[in-house]
């Protein structure tokens, strides 16, 4: 598909643009599309083009109009849930614990405000704190 991205993008642009093809891609935009590592499928390309049509000014769609996400930076060796060092549930508990403690720290351990930050009910936060053994003693840490 990578070789055909320019052709597919042009066809999608013609189909999606309200003025029937008066808008064109700049050479830089076509190059950016060709180099972009699409994690999705043609629908993702279609969504990118729809957004670019809405954002563009003038007759050309530029790389800036495409708003392509940068490639994920390569991270150094870290423990990951798939590294075999611990089960998924332990990993998720650590992530949840970190998020809860961060929200509590931001609110001075105000549980109602922390629940609001986390987008959960006070009752759900209290349950999770009990399950993860998070206590007021951790406030001092």
Residue 35 binned pLDDT confidence (cut-offs 50, 70, 90): confident
Residue 78 has pLDDT above 90, yes or no: no
Domains and CATH numbers, the chain: 2-66 (1.10.8.60), 88-140 (1.10.10.60)
Work out the percent of the chain whose per-residue pLDDT is above 90. 21
pLDDT of residue 65: 84
In whole angstroms, how far apart are CA 119 and each of 30, 104, 111, 116?
40, 13, 12, 5
Q: Which of 56, 94, 57, 89 is nearest to 78 (CA)?
A: 94
Alpha-carbon gap, residue 15 to 136, rounded angstroms:
59
Supply the angle between the helices 5-16 and 42-55 in degrees, to the nearest 10.
50
Residue 46 has pLDDT above 70, yes or no: yes
Residue 64 binned pLDDT confidence (cut-offs 50, 70, 90): confident
- Strand partners of residue 61: 25
Alpha-carbon gap, residue 112 to 106, rounded angstroms:
12
pLDDT of residue 75: 52
Residue 68 has pLDDT above 90, yes or no: no
pLDDT of residue 111: 92
Residue 1 has pLDDT above 60, yes or no: no
Task: Render pLDDT for 95-110 as a digit per residue (tens, 0 to 9).
Answer: 999 999 999 988 999 9
Token pair 């931001």 in the structure block, residue = 106
Average of per-residue pLDDT values in the chain: 81
Token pair 């759900």 in the structure block, residue = 124
């Amino acid at each position: 598909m990578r070789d055909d991205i320019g052709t597919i993008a042009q066809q999608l642009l013609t189909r999606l643009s309200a003025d029937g093809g008066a808008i064109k891609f700049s050479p830089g935009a076509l190059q950016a599309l060709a180099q972009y590592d699409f994690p999705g499928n043609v629908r993702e390309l279609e969504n990118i083009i729809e957004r670019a049509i809405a954002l563009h000014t003038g007759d050309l769609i530029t790389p800036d109009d495409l708003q392509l996400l940068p490639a994920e930076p390569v991270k150094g060796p870290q423990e990951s849930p798939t590294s075999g060092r611990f089960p998924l549930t332990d990993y998720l508990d650590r992530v949840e614990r970190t998020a809860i403690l961060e929200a509590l720290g931001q609110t001075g351990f105000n549980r109602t405000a922390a629940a609001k930050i986390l987008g959960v009910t006070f009752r759900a936060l209290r349950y999770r704190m009990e399950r993860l053994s998070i206590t007021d003693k951790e406030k001092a840490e």
